[in-house]
Amino acid sequence: MCRWIAYSGSPVNLEDLLYKPERSLVMQSKHSRLGAETINGDGFGIGWYSRPPRPGLFHSTDPAWNDRNLRELSALAWSGRVFAHIRASTGTAVQQTNCHPFRYGRWLWMHNGLINDFSTIKRDMTLAVDPALFPLIEGSTDSELFFYLALTYGLENDPPRAVARAVGVIEAIGRNHGVEYPMQMTVATTDGETTWAFRYSTEEKSRSLFRSTDISALRALHPTHELLQGLSADARLVVSEPLGDLEGAWQEVPEASTLVVQGARAEVSSFSPTPV
């Protein structure tokens, strides 16, 4: 199990984003409260847009709390769109090619959760990937393969539709192999302009997912809160776990939902896999 955050808004310093909050992602790497595992020490990654359209990636197999290069890089980098992920492996090797976020062109993708009995259904999932995309798969995780399935089904054109189809296909493959609850996921993906997040599990007991409240409303509530003053009105965070206890700051994204964040606008709709 993993933890992740997706930020969009006015350019923020990555150190402010990743290290300074009360329960920052780097802190969560040692002490997650809501994760299935309390430790996320099996590598981490960040993806950030500083010269769009292509995002930069930093992947490491060290625990995030120990990585000096992450700290240095974070102190100097500013970005208006950041994905960050800390990993707790569910079995696959701890190596850079298994670190999230994954990248394809201008797209980023990260996943918390797992595909149950992945080793059983991995081959059929692999076969379902567009042969033109297949050579780009670098690692061995369920999460990356899920990304390439979503790309196969049109992620670049219609993300909610592509993810619904990919999940439908994975569930169908799982059922064929006798897997009762194939999918457990919160996923975030972006093309550098819009962020889509999904919360879903076949079992209907999905990993936690939260989004930040409207910054203007939050500022009114906490007029002396320093960090809030520095953020633009359209700043939005989508997170697997709140970054602090600030009252009124976080709203849970409901079970089986799609969340679309575009500028200040954040819309939640229901998510269901496309039957195959």
In this complex, which beta carbon is closest to a copy of itself, that of residue 170 or of residue 249?
170
- What residues are paired with 60 via a beta bridge? 44
The structure tokens listed for 216 are: 């203007």
Q: Min. distance of Cβ 94 from a copy of itself in angstroms? A: 5
Candidates 10, 93, 229, 276: give the one binding a copy of itself (CB under 8 A).
93
Question: Cα–chain-centroid distance for residue 227?
Answer: 23
- Residue 126 in contact with a copy of itself, rule: CB under 8 A: yes
Q: Which is nearer to a copy of itself, 30 or 161 (CB)?
A: 30
The nearest distance, CB 93 to a copy of itself, in angstroms, is 5
Q: Is 176 in the site for a copy of itself (CB under 8 A)?
A: no
C-alpha span between 133 and 31 (Å, rounded): 37
If one asks whether residue 20 binds a copy of itself (CB under 8 A), the answer comes out as no
Q: Could you please report the per-residue DSSP string of 159-182?
A: HHHHHHHHHHHHHHHHHHTT-S--
Q: Could you tell me if 4 and 188 are in contact, meaning their C-beta atoms sit under 8 angstroms apart?
A: yes
How many residues bind a copy of itself (CB under 8 A)? The answer is: 42
- Is residue 166 within 8 A of residue 268, CB to CB? The reply is no
CB of 192 to a copy of itself, least distance (A): 14
Q: How many residues are listed for the chain in this entry? A: 276
Q: Which stretch binds a copy of itself (CB under 8 A): 51-59, 190-198, 220-228, 263-271?
A: 51-59
d(CA 57, CA 168): 29
CA dihedral 176, 181, 187, 191 (to 10 degrees): 20
CB of 28 to a copy of itself, least distance (A): 12
Site for a copy of itself in 199-218 (CB under 8 A): none
For a copy of itself, the closer CB: 75 or 220? 75
**Residue 130, Cα to own-chain centre: how many angstroms?**
23
Nearer to a copy of itself, 10 or 119 (CB): 119
CB half-sphere exposure, 269, CA atoms < 13 A: 9
- Cβ neighbors of 48 (< 8 A, separation 6 or more) are 14, 55, 56, 77, 79, 81, 82, 83
Question: Could you say whether residue 60 binds a copy of itself (CB under 8 A)?
Answer: yes
Inter-residue contact 164 to 274 (CB < 8 Å): yes
Contact status: 53 vs a copy of itself (CB under 8 A) = no
Residues 6+ apart with CB under 8 A from 251: 210, 211, 212, 213
Which residue number, 96 or 251, has a Cβ lying nearer to a copy of itself? 96
Interaction pattern, residues 103-122, with a copy of itself; x per rule: CB under 8 A: ----------------xx-x
**Using the rule CB under 8 A, is 16 a contact of a copy of itself?**
no
* Interface with a copy of itself (CB under 8 A): 30, 38-39, 41-42, 50-51, 56-63, 66, 68-69, 72-73, 75-77, 89, 93-97, 119-120, 122-123, 126-127, 131, 134-135, 137-140
